[in-house]
Amino acid sequence: MNAMPLVPRSVCSGVVWPALPDDRNAQMLALQYQLEQSQWWPSERLQALQLQQFARVFHHAMTTVPYYRERFAPWAAGVASWEDYRALPVSTRRDVQQAGTDMHSAAPPSGHGGVITTQSSGSTGSPLVTRGTAWTQLLWHALLLREHLWHGRDLRGKLAAIRSKTEDDRVPNWGPATAAFQTGPSVVRSLSADIDEQLRWLAAEDPDYVLAHATNIQALAARSIELGIVLPRLKEARTYSETLRPGARDIVRRAWGVNIVDSYSSEELGYIALQCPAGENYHVQAESLIVEVLDESGAPCAPGAIGQVVVTTLHNFAMPLIRYASGDFAEVAAPCVCGRGLPALRRIVGRQRNMLVRPDGVRHWPSFPTEVWGGIAPVMQIQLVQDAADHIEVRAVMARDLAGDEGERLIAALQTCLNYPFRITLRRVDAIAPGAGGKYEDFICAVE
């Protein structure tokens, strides 16, 4: 809980409370009021409004977007039910890339503000260029503010962010999502800096909150434990952009005594799901998106099952994405104990390209949590690369060379985790370079 309640900034001279915010921040607060109400609605009410909003997006897409006019021609009369909706064909990332400008609306509504072009990080090897509007940007910021409020962050604290595609910076606030309130400062460090350099920077800045890619936070926490570095003011570690690996939450608690709050987003879709303030489920942002988790036959997955994530944007009239499969997979959660009607995901398990492939044809998402092998060898960071059906190269950043039976024990532990006696080659490296977009991957499958 904050020591003092949050009071918006006022633009009315001499008036502090009740505050009169400027137009943009008034819009942000109006959205927060609506989001506060809708999160508690039953799923049936949310779904009814989603379908109503989708009908507007669908009509716009059919009349102004060449790609959809052709693809959805059999549904030209409209989509009136969820049965109609689920009959629409799924579009893959490649479909969208190949469509190019045929995905663009010829007439985005003028009331949605200017068109904004973004590009995904290209972590799949093929960046995706998408278009949005000032309105979709506002909604993105509103959902980030929702996350701040959900987790009761003290906005007057200091935020340290480690990001890709950025220069080191120091600014007096937390950015546009929190512009309605007085915030503390934020500092930014480039993800390209060495882990030890990042850690020294964090210790010197002594922040209240740290934000970084999931694997980067895990590597920083592991290195903190090894060097005995603490962050005494830290209240929370925030992660984004990558799959949160098993063991990451425990490592951060041991290193810094705080919890991880994770989020699931993409450049083309915005915030897809945010971690529940009452636990580790992820709540789908149903006011902004329709999210399905589908099995191999295209049927909805039951709680506990893992499937492909298929998403429809409800407010992007510049480049609608309708039943779009980005390549992510997730596990469906049972209804969340918090009581919110927003759909829940138990975990985000990654992309299909990162599935392990056994020689017998079995594919699954590999799990090799640090607690299983972490006490065996002086490994600070690890990456597994499957380059053949029966072989995996383990790239390890280590404080020293392996000694005695450490190598054999590490291999045996990893074989147990992977549930198969792979041939494993250990290779000590000075660093593990991030891939496209500055993202680290602890498992890479190079087997077709």
What are 429-445's pLDDT values in tens digits? 988 876 655 566 788 88
Higher pLDDT, 433 or 400: 400
In order of their start, the domains of the chain are 356-445 (3.30.300.30)
Task: Over range 371-393, report the average pLDDT.
Answer: 87
pLDDT category of residue 132 using cuts at 50, 70 and 90 = very high
3-state per-residue secondary structure call for 252-287: HHHHHCCCEEEEEEECCCEEEEEECCCCCCEEECCC
Task: Over range 100-115, report the average pLDDT.
Answer: 96
CA dist 422 and 412 (Å) reads 10
Name the CA dihedral angle for 36, 37, 40, 46, rounded to a multiple of 10 degrees.
-110
Higher pLDDT, 188 or 128: 188
Q: What is the pLDDT of residues 55-73, one digit of tens each?
A: 999 999 999 999 999 999 9
pLDDT category of residue 1 using cuts at 50, 70 and 90 = very low
pLDDT category of residue 125 using cuts at 50, 70 and 90 = very low
φ, ψ at 281 (rounded to 5°): -65, 160
Surface-to-core class of residue 98, CB atoms within 10 Å of its CB (0-12 exposed, 13-18 middle, 19+ buried): exposed
What one-character DSSP code corresponds to residue 420?
S
**Least confident stretch, 99-108, 197-206, 234-243, 376-385:** 376-385
Asked if 422 and 384 count as a contact pair (C-beta separation under 8 A), the reply is no
Say if strands 443-445 and 423-428 run parallel, antiparallel, or are unpaired.
unpaired
Tokens of 13: 């001279």
pLDDT the model gives residue 441: 77
pLDDT the model gives residue 118: 86
Angle at 39 between CA 61 and CA 312, to 5 degrees: 20
Q: What is the pLDDT of residues 149-194, one digit of tens each?
A: 999 999 999 999 998 767 899 999 999 999 999 999 999 998 777 7
pLDDT the model gives residue 7: 87
CA dist 10 and 16 (Å) reads 6
Task: Over range 395-423, report the average pLDDT.
Answer: 91
Q: What is the mean pLDDT of the chain?
A: 91
Find all residues with CB under 8 Å of 245, minimum gap 6, and list them: 214, 215, 218, 369, 442
Task: Over range 288-310, report the average pLDDT.
Answer: 96
pLDDT category of residue 375 using cuts at 50, 70 and 90 = confident
Can you name the residues that pair with 190 across neighbouring β-strands? 163
- DSSP 3-state of 296: coil
Sheet with 379-388, side-by-side order of all strands: 423-428, 391-398, 379-388, 443-445
pTM for this model (two decimals): 0.83
Taking alpha carbons only, the member of 100, 129, 127, 103 closest to residue 116 is 129
pLDDT the model gives residue 205: 98
CA dist 24 and 7 (Å) reads 16
CA dist 231 and 291 (Å) reads 37
Distances 170 to 8, 184, 239, 283 between C-alpha atoms, Å: 23, 11, 20, 32
Q: Phi-psi region for residue 406, left (φ > 0), alpha (ψ -120 to 50) or beta?
A: alpha
Tokens of 174: 């937390």
Surface-to-core class of residue 218, CB atoms within 10 Å of its CB (0-12 exposed, 13-18 middle, 19+ buried): buried
pLDDT the model gives residue 256: 98
CA dist 171 and 186 (Å) reads 6
Q: What is the pLDDT of residues 241-269, one digit of tens each?
A: 888 887 899 999 999 999 999 999 998 99
Find all residues with CB under 8 Å of 165, minimum gap 6, and list them: 121, 437, 438
Name, of 26-30, 215-219, 325-329, 372-376, the range with top average pLDDT: 26-30
Surface-to-core class of residue 427, CB atoms within 10 Å of its CB (0-12 exposed, 13-18 middle, 19+ buried): exposed
| Residue 121: pLDDT over 60 | no
Taking alpha carbons only, the member of 151, 158, 115 closest to residue 133 is 115
CA dist 93 and 173 (Å) reads 35
Say if strands 391-398 and 379-388 run parallel, antiparallel, or are unpaired.
antiparallel
pLDDT category of residue 124 using cuts at 50, 70 and 90 = very low
Task: Over range 302-329, report the average pLDDT.
Answer: 96
CA dist 368 and 441 (Å) reads 13
